[in-house]
Amino acid sequence: MYGPLWQSTIDRFEAIRGGQPIDQETFHRLLAVGGFSQTLVLEDRDILEPIIDWQIFQTERNGHSIFSEEFAFSENSAMPPHHLFSKRGRLLSVDFLRAYAYLRSIEATLPIGQGPKTIVEIGPGFGGLSRLLKLRWPQSTIFLIDLEPSLRISEYYIRQSFSDCMISRSLDSNADFILVDVGIANRIPRTTFDLAVNTWSLGEMPNDNIAFWFDFLQNKHNVKNLFCLNHFLASMPLNAGAFDRASSSYDWIDRFDARWKITNCKIDPYIHRCPILRSQHVGLAISATRLSSDAAVSMERDLAAKAASAVYRHQWLAASMIDVVKNTPKDGKRKALFNARPSDVTPATHFVLEQFTDELNVWRPDFESETFCALWNDIRLNRSPLSIRAMRIWLHLQWGPKLRAAGAPINHIFREEVTYAKAATGKVEDDPQMALPNWMKPYFTAPGSTGCCKSPP
């Protein structure tokens, strides 16, 4: 139901549990599967401790010191002992500090005032962030929605964390925590959620499930604020059959409707940038608040168009325009591209994706957020063909130029490259005013043709 990734994880959970209630030993074994966090697989304290020291430094550098919080903001001792470290008299773990950074981001980027009364977290994992949300806003009711085997794990962690809290399975309860299996999530009465949260799981689901949850958030309930952090720039294999399977999953990024005002858009929040953890997935964090009027939506559309028009004047985009070098001898193209000046990008502008990287053979990957977020927001609100084409160039340039040179062997593509290749028509297709790199052409249909996408050669 939820794709091969989570189905295999759930099967392992159930095999470990063996139909028995979860105790602390079983809880530790379930966490070690790694379904909730890569770091929970790590066992070497000599690796984990410097990660924690780095996290402490970075949270303090960003004005978010855990040591300024009440002492309750410590890791629960129910966690595996090798993940627990005492720092300045406070018990901490890598996952606790990551969740704490998410909490502080929610507070900093969403207008939640005195605190949300009703919260929903879709896919809470083992409950680490849910626990912090409850510590911050004790009067809140928190709905935890997950697959049942995962829900049992978060229930164990929450019970170990709050011995006096009321935990219920009743959908109309006033309990502190309401646990909801995904199979009955559509039975939740229409509710005003002051805050909705999802981290990582939407980016791991089949597209039909992603569509269900965005319908849940945008239509079925009244969600005032949303914090969503999910996979970004994830590669899709191009080996036989895998491309078609992967293109039917993970497509969360283009699901935000026009009634969201984006209050923060950040590629790889600081807590993800630990140099010790090179296997950390790239994430995109989006904070958004719901708009209630058409006038407010119209204002956001205008602001998005202005932000995107500023991107159109960036040097890298000018250097991707064919007019920059079309009449320049080959031995002068490099100089021409280096000195490309911003020029007007119009609907008639012709782009050549490989031009910039093939000639300069240098490109600094853009892991700052402003360019992507400006283009993404304009596409979301205005479906601008110019921003779609600019986005495809930006995505192309995130790969190293030597790897991406036209005709070079390559066996992966970014998920977002597929998303925005079909943004205009719903089909994965070429753009008649943008020349694709040679290696990419076999995977895209010609404009106006039938079908979704070509099978890998």
Report CA dihedral (123, 126, 132, 135) to the nearest 10 degrees. Answer: 110
Distance of CA 190 to the CA centre of its chain: 26
**By the 8 A CB rule, do 93 and 83 touch?**
yes
Averaged pLDDT for residues 257-272: 95
Going by pLDDT thresholds of 50, 70 and 90, the confidence category of residue 426 is confident
**Residue of higher predicted confidence among 149 and 5:** 149
Note the pLDDT tens digit of each residue in 400-422: 544 544 444 456 778 888 888 88
Going by pLDDT thresholds of 50, 70 and 90, the confidence category of residue 2 is low
Domains recognised in the chain with CATH numbers? 3-292 (3.40.50.150), 297-443 (no CATH)
Which pLDDT score, from 0 to 100, does residue 405 have?
46
State the Cα–Cα distance between residues 40 and 32, nearest whole angstrom: 6
Q: Which residues contact 273 (CB under 8 A, 6 or more apart)?
A: 58
Distance of CA 195 to the CA centre of its chain: 17
Is the pTM above the cut of 0.75? Answer: yes
End-to-end CA separation in angstroms for the chain: 29
**Residue of higher predicted confidence among 278 and 433:** 433
Which pLDDT score, from 0 to 100, does residue 249 have?
78
Average pLDDT of the chain is 87
Going by pLDDT thresholds of 50, 70 and 90, the confidence category of residue 361 is low
**By the 8 A CB rule, do 93 and 51 touch?**
no
Which pLDDT score, from 0 to 100, does residue 404 have?
47
Instruction: Tell me: pLDDT of 347 over 90.
Output: no
Strands (E), 232-367: 235-237, 260-267, 283-290, 351-352
Averaged pLDDT for residues 142-163: 95
State the Cα–Cα distance between residues 126 and 150, nearest whole angstrom: 7
Averaged pLDDT for residues 373-390: 95
Please state which of the ranges 64-73, 279-288, 417-426, 433-442 shows the lowest mean pLDDT: 433-442
State the Cα–Cα distance between residues 272 and 50, nearest whole angstrom: 14
Instruction: Tell me: pLDDT of 124 over 90.
Output: yes
Q: Which residues contact 86 (CB under 8 A, 6 or more apart)?
A: 92
Averaged pLDDT for residues 138-142: 96
For 428, what's the count of Cα atoms within 13 Å in the CB-facing half-sphere? Answer: 20
Phi first, then psi, for residue 103 (nearest 5°) are -60, -45
Instruction: Please give the share of the chain, as a percent, with pLDDT higher than 90.
Output: 58
Instruction: Tell me: pLDDT of 220 over 80.
Output: yes
Note the pLDDT tens digit of each residue in 293-331: 999 999 999 999 999 999 998 888 888 887 777 778 877
Averaged pLDDT for residues 262-282: 89
Which pLDDT score, from 0 to 100, does residue 286 have?
97
Nearest to residue 422, comparing CAs of 390, 388, 396? 388
Averaged pLDDT for residues 55-61: 96
Instruction: Tell me: pLDDT of 73 over 60.
Output: yes
Which pLDDT score, from 0 to 100, does residue 213 have?
97
Residue 301 has a CB neighbour count (10 Å cut-off) of: 16
Distances 120 to 70, 142, 151 between C-alpha atoms, Å:
24, 6, 14
Q: Per the structure block, which two tokens stand in for 83?
A: 């993940």
Q: Per the structure block, which two tokens stand in for 71?
A: 């002492």
Averaged pLDDT for residues 212-229: 98
Q: In what order do the strands lie in the sheet with 167-168?
A: 167-168, 177-181, 141-146, 118-122, 195-199, 225-231, 283-290, 260-267
